Amino acid sequence: MQLLRSSNRQILNLSEDNELGLGGEARIYLLPGPNALAAKVYHRPTLEHGAKLAAMLANPPEDPTAGQGHTSIAWPSELLLSRDDNQQVLGFLMPLVQGMNPIIDFYHPKTRRREHPLFNFLYLLRTARNLAGCVAALHARGYVIGDLNESNILVSDTALVTWVDTDSFQVHDSANGKTYRCRVGKPEFTPPELQSVTFSEQDRLPQHDCFGLAVLLFQLLMEGTHPFAGRHFGPGEPPSLEQRIGAGHFPYARASGPTQLPMRAAPPFESLHPALRQLFVRCFIDGHAQPGTRPDAATWQNTLEAAEGDLAVCSENEQHRYSSHLASCPWCERQKFLRGLDPFPSRQAVQLGQHLHHPIHDRPRPASSHRRLGATPLAAAPTTPAAPPSALLRWAAIAGAIGLTLLLVAFWIWTIRLTLQHR
Cα separation, 48 vs 164, in Å, equals 20
Alpha helices in 89-196 (DSSP H): 104-107, 109-115, 121-140
Active-site residue flag, 342: no
Nearest to 297 by CA among 285, 305, 288: 305
Query: C-alpha distances in angstroms, 145 versus 135, 186, 189, 299, 401?
Result: 8, 12, 12, 18, 92
Nearest to 14 by CA among 74, 80, 76: 80
Query: CB within 8 A of 298, min separation 6: which ones?
Result: 132, 136
Query: CB within 8 A of 35, min separation 6: which ones?
Result: none
Cα separation, 174 vs 160, in Å, equals 31
Nearest to 163 by CA among 117, 209, 122, 221: 209
Cα separation, 120 vs 110, in Å, equals 13
Alpha helices in 166-235 (DSSP H): 206-221
List the catalytic residue out of 63, 85, 147, 286.
147
Nearest to 288 by CA among 381, 194, 191, 354: 191
Q: Which residues of 248-272 are buried (b: 16+ CB within 10 A; e: fewer)?
A: bbbbbbeebeebbebeeebbebebb
Q: Which residues are catalytically annotated?
A: 147
